[in-house]
Structure 1
Amino acid sequence: MTERPDQTVLLRNGTIHSPADPFATAMIVQGDSVAWVGSEGAADSFADGVDEVRDLGGALVTPAFTDAHVHTTATGLALTGLDLTGSRSLAEALGRIRAHAGARPAEGVLLGHGWDASAWPEQRPPSRRELDEATGGRPLYLTRSDVHSAVVTTALLDLVPGLAGLDGYDPEAPLTGDAHHAVRAAAHAGVTAAQRAAAQTAALDRAVSLGIGSVHECAGPQISSADDFTGLLRLAAGRPGPRVVGYWAEAVATANDADRIRELGAAGAAGDLFVDGSLGSHTACLHEPYADLPGRTGTAHLDAAAVAAHVAACTEAGLQAGFHAIGDAALTAVVEGVRAAAGKLGLARVRAARHRVEHAEMLTPEHIAAFAEFALTASVQPAFDAAWGGDTAMYAQRLGIERARTLNPYAALLRAGVPLALGSDSPVTPLDPWGTVRAAAFHRTPEHRISVRAAFTAHTRGGWRAVGRDDAGVLVPGAPADYAVWQAGDLVVQVPDERVASWSTDPRSGTPGLPDLTPGTELPTCLRTVVGGHTVYERPNE
């Protein structure tokens, strides 16, 4: 469906999720903006003055989701290539690798993603010998689910001279640090521009099919390449949706550095500017050692002084700064660095810049207070808790049960007034917006749960606010016409506790309802996604 730029469309006979009218059943879109929201009866007076009337047939209309942390090319490569997500054992993973290698042309590097030995009965990753056998001796680059380590074949190692001298190299273990970055660069060098564009297209198509209208691409020199980043922005600009906001994770020290960030088309020097690594790969930086690797506290890539220099330079240049920080020691470095920058430039200037922190998993009460003080956006991924939380999964294995229970404290963040933006970190966890909202509302640690409404807001309006837009992500007159139409069950108001009356369908509450996301219920199905008034996805008729 192709809409004219100036077309006026009336949607009626549905449920419009809008704070402007909690009982709205109709909406008018004029061009790229919402023009009116109201009742079915009032819609009758507009019916003759619009270009098209669309009967919603009782469907739910909400703002389109924003996924605040995505790696688009890697997501597309996982969608179109070898994805080990969900493998239940080492033996199953090796079988998938063997089948994938046998179905691909003999030349070129094999790329794969998604293994997680912490969930396997063998409790170990595939060895190099096993990978060499499974691939027939071909080059293979296979990232762990967190993308902070990888296993590779001998043939790929042979493409990277001097690898054994790099930090993170271990002949008997997954590669981390500089060694991982080196093999990733060698593997991705074999991806052609056409393959990259096809992967990016596949990822963007998947996003809009799930009601996602915007994604924040988190790129950088240690993650992909400038060509990959600029190619994605060009591709996104040439199609109606989803919108792509790009972040480039490179330290800024001078005005020339800031100019380079802008020339790339980035919204800021943020995203995955690594202060540390990940818990799954034992590279998140901790104050106390890992429970399952005594004596090891992870890897620190930036200290407080480096954080302060980056935040100060970005603030002075009018750029948004941001960091990847997971471990408690890494988060301490971030807040101490931001505090130093605020001491130099003034608190108001730092707050106004809306700097952001990705993941922010091992937050202490002191960290949370600092996030609120400095108006740092917490760009978080609730699916991490769904995948690795609880008393027996990866978090507890790495940290012990008591420390694991402190992770991802969303309720405390909201109580402190910290801005939240939700995302997936895809392909680390899949694009799945309603699943993300469910994971936040039904956190494995009950005291960290937030309401469905709060999680939904953080996954819609929160993503827009994280890029400095307060007028979007909500269906009110004047807002961008980015919305999704859903086939959904009963609409309720859910709260994050286990009280008997924990949800309600009573319209007298005056609160717009959302789908019941209680675990075990069916998630809504996306029927249509619209970005800037243009339909970018429509579910095929069955």
Structure 2
Amino acid sequence: MIHQVTELRCRTLWTGSGEPLEGAAVRISQGKITEIVPCGPSDGFHFQFGMPAFFDGHCHLTWMILKKISLDLSQACSREEFLDLVSMAAKEVPHGSILRGESWDESLWNTPVLPTLAELDRATGGVPVFLCRTCGHKGMVNSAMLNLITVHSSEVDRENGFLLERMVINFTRYFPPEPEQVRNALASVVSDIYSMGITGCCTIEKPEHIDLIMEASPDLDISFVVQTRPPWLSGSYRGSSMIKLFLDGSFGAGTAALDLKSGEHLLFTDQELFDALAVCFNQGLTPVIHAIGGAALEQIDRVTGRVFEAAGGGFPVRIEHGEDLLRVWPGHFDPEYHSFSMQPNFVERWQRQGGMYDRLLGACHSSFLNPFRSILSAGFSLCFGSDSMPAGPLYGLKGAWRHRNPAESLSVEDALRLYSIEAARMSECMALSSPLEPGRPADMVFLSGNPFKCIDGLQVVSTFRGGREVFGSGG
């Protein structure tokens, strides 16, 4: 049987390893690469630059869905504009329903002062509202919403109208959206992902959401990190071997564990973390640990050492974010067992001079966050993802290429590798973890220009998934 062969000719092709190739054609049949051959200008180039498709090593598909079906507050530039948007949306909410808003970020407002509970009550007219901060670790609620929340927790601030940490993360468990609404929004989310040049992702999800995502997005290459907390780890986890543990919150929500002496804002005691890691070891699971502040990272260093000793040896521990790592570096972190998944978009969005991190932590402390180069130079595995804040590798990569601290900047090649084949490898999606070569799935992204020559103004012009264009002129 003769199979159709597709040829994609690139002015420049980076296979994911070594120097870019000038003038190269990728031949594809039955969804896989069959060969890569030279080509020249006389053949006509389809694309300026091609490379392995991006892989988002840390995202939240359900959260991206919720953003689709919620009021978008990301464009608010002030408290007044924020309240106007919420007030207008509240007028359209059917009786008995909840207004959910997403992605507000007061650090980008003209004056970063949040509304009071009384102001939010006046704006919403008795409609229950839940408004989630862009970090996902803090939410604003009005009195009508507080009346519906029966949980008694220190993470519910009834005086000021805020939810923190687990109350935000688990909000959909108490007030779930309609499944059909979620299913319909997922198709749009997948289209957005393809438009960013991404064909695979590692998504952090609650167990109850995994089946729906698998059913509704069969074309994406997805690995799952199951988000849970002891007592847990019973029953099927749909083949996932990764378990998410939150040790602290975020800088923007004021819940990152920064104080090395007090350990304020740590969500686990040392013994709780020890027990959780021991369960992971005994069940052959990889703990994926959210740790932003220095105290949380120091706790990982301290407790994993104890667990490794008790287990008679180390096992894989994947650390998410690790922004404040240099305050406890190098400690006893071991490149054989510890790996890091980080978000360069945090650098681009909040770590720039005069940005939110400067205001919250001071310029000196801020400049030493997100030490990408230090981690790579010490021999640790490192990959990139977005945490869906926002998704989009080309936005995030600017933070890696032009880090606030030049000593922590990465080369173009390293940054592209960490946001593609290395992210796939660390997320256990092995089919996309190798450079472009015969036999590999033809998952590729094509850019408007060559990032090895200029990193400004780049755009995704086409995305191929298994040899089929899913975004672009024919996607």
Partner Cα separation in structure 2 for residue 11 and residue 211 of structure 1:
16
CA contact (8 A) 2:146 2:161 kept: no
In structure 2, give the amino acid aligned to 1:176. Answer: L
Unaligned runs of 5+ in 1: 45-54, 221-225, 290-295, 494-504, 506-515
Partner Cα separation in structure 2 for residue 139 and residue 121 of structure 1:
27
CA contact (8 A) 2:195 2:460 kept: no
Alpha-carbon distance, 1:369 to partner: 5.8
Alpha-carbon distance, 1:77 to partner: 2.5
> For each residue in 1:264-301, what CA deviation from the matched residue of structure 2 results, as whole angstroms up to 9, or x when unmatched?
32523334x21111111111112259xxxxxx864111
> Is 1:476 aligned to 2:464, yes or no?
no
The match for 1:230 is: 211
> Is 1:386 aligned to 2:386, yes or no?
no
In structure 2, give the amino acid aligned to 1:478. Answer: G
The match for 1:15 is: 12
In structure 2, give the amino acid aligned to 1:537. Answer: F
In structure 2, give the amino acid aligned to 1:211. Answer: G
> Is 1:287 aligned to 2:277, yes or no?
no
Partner Cα separation in structure 2 for residue 331 and residue 337 of structure 1:
10
The match for 1:530 is: 464
Partner Cα separation in structure 2 for residue 477 and residue 368 of structure 1:
40
CA contact (8 A) 2:346 2:396 kept: no
Task: Name the SS for the 2:204 alignment partner.
Answer: strand
Partner Cα separation in structure 2 for residue 312 and residue 342 of structure 1:
9
In structure 2, give the amino acid aligned to 1:415. Answer: S
Alpha-carbon distance, 1:161 to partner: 2.2
Alpha-carbon distance, 1:157 to partner: 1.3
In structure 2, give the amino acid aligned to 1:194. Answer: E
Aligned residues between the structures: 471
Cα distance change, pair 162–415 in 1 and its aligned pair in 2 (3 A): closer
Task: Name the SS for the 2:432 alignment partner.
Answer: coil
Partner Cα separation in structure 2 for residue 365 and residue 122 of structure 1:
30
The match for 1:217 is: 203
Unaligned runs of 5+ in 2: none
Partner Cα separation in structure 1 for residue 410 and residue 287 of structure 2:
27
Partner Cα separation in structure 1 for residue 427 and residue 166 of structure 2:
30
In structure 2, give the amino acid aligned to 1:157. Answer: L
> Is 1:141 aligned to 2:138, yes or no?
no
In structure 2, give the amino acid aligned to 1:360. Answer: G
The match for 2:35 is: 36
Output the TM-score relative to the length of structure 1.
0.79
CA contact (8 A) 2:443 2:466 kept: yes
Alpha-carbon distance, 1:24 to partner: 4.8
Alpha-carbon distance, 1:147 to partner: 0.9
Cα distance change, pair 5–94 in 1 and its aligned pair in 2 (3 A): farther
> For each residue in 1:329-386, what CA deviation from the matched residue of structure 2 results, as whole angstroms up to 9, or x when unmatched?
1011112222222223344x51xx4x31111110027545644434322111111121
Task: Name the SS for the 1:175 alignment partner.
Answer: strand
Task: Name the SS for the 2:157 alignment partner.
Answer: coil
In structure 2, give the amino acid aligned to 1:523. Answer: L
The match for 1:207 is: 193
> For each residue in 1:385-416, what CA deviation from the matched residue of structure 2 results, as whole angstroms up to 9, or x when unmatched?
21211343221222222222221011111111
> Is 1:450 aligned to 2:410, yes or no?
yes
The match for 1:89 is: 78
Q: 393-402 or 376-385, which moves further after superposition?
A: 393-402
> For each residue in 1:195-242, what CA deviation from the matched residue of structure 2 results, as whole angstroms up to 9, or x when unmatched?
11123222221001111011111123xxxxx332321122223xx2x2
Partner Cα separation in structure 1 for residue 45 and residue 95 of structure 2:
50
Cα distance change, pair 297–154 in 1 and its aligned pair in 2 (3 A): same
The match for 1:99 is: 88
Query: Of 246, 250, 254, which residue of structure 2 is paired with 1:274?
Result: 246
The match for 1:502 is: none
Partner Cα separation in structure 1 for residue 320 and residue 381 of structure 2:
12
> Is 1:150 aligned to 2:139, yes or no?
yes
Partner Cα separation in structure 1 for residue 213 and residue 88 of structure 2:
30
The match for 1:264 is: 237
Alignment of 1:350-369 (within 5 A): 350=315, 353=316, 355-364=317-326, 366-368=328-330
Alignment of 1:296-311 (within 5 A): 298-311=264-277
Partner Cα separation in structure 2 for residue 181 and residue 77 of structure 1:
12
CA contact (8 A) 2:241 2:285 kept: yes
Partner Cα separation in structure 2 for residue 268 and residue 5 of structure 1:
40
Partner Cα separation in structure 1 for residue 87 and residue 324 of structure 2:
38
In structure 2, give the amino acid aligned to 1:16. Answer: L
Cα distance change, pair 126–530 in 1 and its aligned pair in 2 (3 A): same
> Is 1:59 aligned to 2:57, yes or no?
no
CA contact (8 A) 2:297 2:328 kept: no
Task: Name the SS for the 1:25 alignment partner.
Answer: strand
CA contact (8 A) 1:141 1:150 kept: yes
In structure 1, give the amino acid aligned to 2:104. Answer: W
The match for 1:511 is: none
> Could you say which structure has the higher strand fraction?
2
The match for 1:459 is: 419
Partner Cα separation in structure 2 for residue 378 and residue 84 of structure 1:
31
RMSD: 2.8
Partner Cα separation in structure 2 for residue 230 and residue 99 of structure 1:
35
Partner Cα separation in structure 1 for residue 325 and residue 2 of structure 2:
46
Task: Name the SS for the 2:102 alignment partner.
Answer: strand
Alpha-carbon distance, 1:450 to partner: 1.0
Percent identity for Structure 1 against Structure 2: 25
> For each residue in 1:426-485, what CA deviation from the matched residue of structure 2 results, as whole angstroms up to 9, or x when unmatched?
1xx211111111111111222221112111110001211112356634212232221122
Task: Name the SS for the 1:299 alignment partner.
Answer: coil
Partner Cα separation in structure 1 for residue 421 and residue 30 of structure 2:
21
The match for 1:245 is: 223
Alpha-carbon distance, 1:177 to partner: 3.9
Partner Cα separation in structure 2 for residue 139 and residue 179 of structure 1:
16
Query: Of 294, 300, 304, which residue of structure 2 is paired with 1:328?
Result: 294
> For each residue in 1:500-529, what CA deviation from the matched residue of structure 2 results, as whole angstroms up to 9, or x when unmatched?
xxxxx6xxxxxxxxxx21xxx3122332x2
Partner Cα separation in structure 2 for residue 135 and residue 28 of structure 1:
57
